Structures are given as C-alpha cells and as structure tokens.
Amino acid sequence: MSQSTNILDLDTLAQELATIQQTGSKRIALLGSRHVPITHQNLIEMMTYALVLAGNRIITSGATGTNSAAIRGATRADANLLTVILPQSLERQPQESRQQLEQVMHLVENPSNDNLSLGEASHLCNKEIVSRCQQLICFAFHDSRTLLQTCQEAEEQRKVVTLFYFD
C-alpha cells in the first residue's frame, strides 16, 4: 500500500512541477471573496494584468471584490484572454456587476441555475471554472467555505492551487 502511495505522490509532484515549469501560456482560474479591501483589489488587478500580459488565459466568475478586480486587470491587458463564467444568468447578477460583465467578450451564463440558491449555483460554477483551468489562484478568508471547498476539489483533480488568506 505504501508503495502505491509513493507512486501517486511522485505522479502528483511530477505533474505539479511540469505545470510550474511550463513557459507557455496557462489557463489560470482566479477566484476569491467578494469582501475585499480596495488595496487588495488593486493588487489582484495588477497581478491579473501581469498574468495576461505574459500570455495566460484567465477564467473567473462575475462577483464583486476579487473577481471584479481580476476582470479589470485582464480586460486592461487583453480582453480576449478573459473568460467569465457566471453562476446564474446575467439578470441575476448584482446591478453593480452587470455594467462590467456586459463588456466581457467571453461571458458564460448559467440560467439553468437561476432556481438554485446563490451558494449552490456558485459551487457548481466554481467546479466548472476549475475543470477548465490548469492552475487555481484563490483569495479567501479562513471561513470562506465555498472557496476552500473549491480549492480542495481542485487539489483532488491535481491542479496547482495557490491559496492566499486575507485574515
């Protein structure tokens, strides 16, 4: 049993090393909390801007806070390298997000989730986002249950996960 565990650990390590060393563009999911101070949003925006300038594709959701900052940074660098996946239809998004989201070229709506709670729809949306990425960068609080669950699921899929805590 321990030998199979070691082989699995080596496979995981090799895959993560290959992803980290990849010099070409990657599909990077960027997710995080809605409740983010403006200074942190500015840092997230700059980081996303730099990631897109380096040729990476960004996948995020449409919430305020972290995701909105990622959208601003990616759009500023190259709007064509940004995909935004919404947990529900555009009409179900907060008014303060809609104006920004209407400008996104690659916008995926999920109107079939309109009958779900935002929490349930967000969980399904995050699963879709993770399925499309090679790497996940997440900004969360220690009690951000949905985001932490998304990180765990991404790790189980052997995605490279970078988790930043605000608290």
Mean pLDDT over the full length of the chain: 89
Q: Is 43 exposed, middle or buried (0-12, 13-18, 19+ CB in 10 A)?
A: middle
Q: Among candidates 112, 114, 135, which has minimal Cα distance to 60? A: 135
Query: Can you tell me the mean pLDDT for 90-118?
Result: 93
Q: Report pLDDT for 3.
A: 47
Q: Give the Cα separation of 38 and 21 in Å (integer).
A: 32
Q: 3-7, 14-18, 104-108: which range is least confident on average?
A: 3-7
Asked if pLDDT for residue 145 goes beyond 60, the answer is yes
Asked if pLDDT for residue 72 goes beyond 70, the answer is yes
pLDDT per position as a tens digit, 19-47: 656 667 899 999 999 999 999 999 999 99
pTM for the full predicted model = 0.85
Q: Report pLDDT for 2.
A: 43
Residue, of 18 and 98, whose pLDDT is higher: 98
End-to-end CA distance of the chain: 38
Asked if pLDDT for residue 139 goes beyond 80, the answer is yes
